Amino acid sequence: MAIFTNAETKLVVQGITGRDGSFHTTQMMEYGTAVVAGVTPGKGGQSFKGPGGKSVPIFNSMDQAVAATGANASVIFVPPPFAAGAIMEAADSGVALVIAITEGVPVLDMARAHAFARDRGARVLGPNCPGLITVGGAKIGILPGSIVTPGPVGVVSRSGTLTYEAVYQLTSVGLGQTTCVGIGGDPLIGTNFIDCLEAFEADPETSAVVMIGEIGGTDEQDAAAFVKEHMSKPVVGFIAGQTAPPGRRMGHAGAIVSGAGGTAAEKMAVLEENGIPVAKRPADIVGLVREALA
């Protein structure tokens, strides 16, 4: 089992001929992801040469790609001015999952894109996220496949680099993962902590969850309340930005402390009040997971 993606996922890469799209398509295919098509307007009829000589057909539109291949997911490596349009095109084509890697998408564009995708029943992950990887199933996005290993721990994070760090530490001590999800750090994202926690709770192979948050907003507090009310599986947490000064954005567009509720201290306190042990340093996550699984 897994959440959101598995070995049956058939993926379209929007922006497959660009620098980032072509590089990460190769990485995804090497991991074993079923990349069945690419989309670049004006380059329909060409093909992408993947690892092992495998050829991926390129189409001018998502409608054409889905009709020809039966694809059910899309990943977007499209420049910021066009990313929201690509998300809406993907949702309109009928795919169930749209993963937007692009950083710097205008917020107003994303407000329209998220509403459009919801109306069509498509799940959007991102934007400004590293994607997700279901261990032994499918890797969609830029998460490195070399650091994961099969096991019982689900990981969900707002920070891409901290996702890598947590997963690497878990793997290094033999604590494998089911699915690792980077939800992104923009103010408007499509899939949040609660969505992922609910999916992990329903996944029979996930026994514990690592939730990595950061300063800004109240998503972590909302997630903590959900854990207390609705989850039987243990969750351990970490909050990045513990030394961040108020009013300064730290990396992500959504990571800015604009009130007491957005501080690391407030978030950590709320998590612990709701029964979620919080690591003070990333290095402490492994110990908390071991205790949760004991």
Q: List active site positions.
A: 252
The C-alpha angle with vertex 188 and arms to 98 and 232, in degrees rounded to 5, equals: 75
- Check: CB of residue 44 under 8 Å from CB of residue 21: no
Which pairing describes strands 177-182 and 131-134: parallel, antiparallel, or unpaired?
antiparallel
Alpha-carbon distance 61 to 44, whole Å?
Answer: 8
Q: Which of 68, 128, 112 has the alpha carbon at shortest distance from 94? A: 68
- Check: CB of residue 288 under 8 Å from CB of residue 236: yes
Residues 6+ apart with CB under 8 A from 257: 215, 216, 241, 244, 245, 246, 247, 248, 263
SS3 state at 179: strand
Q: Which of 195, 190, 205, 224 has the alpha carbon at shortest distance from 154? A: 205
Residues 6+ apart with CB under 8 A from 270: 220, 221, 224
